[in-house]
Amino acid sequence: MPATTYAVSGMSCGHCKATLTKVIGELTGVSGVEVDLGSGQVTVTSAAEPDDDMIAEVVDEAGYELTGRV
């Protein structure tokens, strides 16, 4: 399964990690989410190419900012 890594700003704690893991993990086709607070990166594993716009939307709605692919 392909993994895509995104830069996300505004993450600073375990709550941020849990929130993003939940909202991104609920998207159709997403099978895994890894949040690295230290690097500000979120890696999404999915069955097919992820929908960047949809991921950016749920990240923004959760109060963070997806700034692009890494």
- 30-53 pLDDT, tens digit each: 999 999 999 999 999 998 989 999
CA distances from 32 to 11, 42 (A): 18, 10
Q: Summarize pLDDT for 50-68 with one digit per residue, the tens.
A: 999 999 999 999 999 999 9
- Tens of pLDDT, residues 2-25: 899 999 999 999 999 999 999 999
Instruction: Report the predicted TM-score, pTM, of the whole model to 2 decimal places.
Output: 0.95
Q: CB neighbours of 11 closer than 8 A, spacing ≥ 6?
A: 17, 20, 35, 37, 40, 64
